[in-house]
C-alpha cells in the first residue's frame, strides 16, 4: 500500500492504516462512542453512549445505547 496523498484531514490526524494494524482474522471487534451535549430549549445536559460488537466464530453481534439525563440524574 502506497502512501496516501496528504490532505487537510491527514495533517490533523497523524494516525495511519499501518498504525491500526491488521484486524482479520479477529475473534471479536468492539466499538464504543460517548458524547455529551446540551439542549437548546432548556439547557439540560445529556450523555449518549453506544457500543457495537460482532464475533466471527459464533456469528454474534450486539448494539447497546444509553441516553442519560445528566442534569436530573
Q: For residue 19, what is the enclosing H or E element?
A: helix 17-20
Which residue is listed with cell 495511519? Answer: 16
In 1-73, beta strands by DSSP E: 28-38, 45-55, 60-69
Cell of 51: 457500543
**pLDDT attached to residue 3:** 59
Below-50 pLDDT ranges, the chain: 1
**pLDDT attached to residue 7:** 58
Whole-prediction pTM value?
0.56
Amino acid at each position: 500500500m502506497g502512501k496516501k496523498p496528504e490532505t487537510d484531514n491527514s495533517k490533523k490526524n497523524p494516525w495511519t492504516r499501518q498504525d491500526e494494524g491488521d484486524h482479520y482474522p479477529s475473534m471479536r471487534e468492539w466499538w464504543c462512542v460517548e458524547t455529551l451535549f446540551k439542549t437548546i430549549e432548556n439547557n439540560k445536559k445529556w450523555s449518549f453512549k453506544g457500543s457495537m460488537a460482532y464475533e466471527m466464530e459464533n456469528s454474534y453481534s450486539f448494539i447497546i445505547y444509553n441516553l442519560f439525563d445528566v442534569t436530573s440524574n
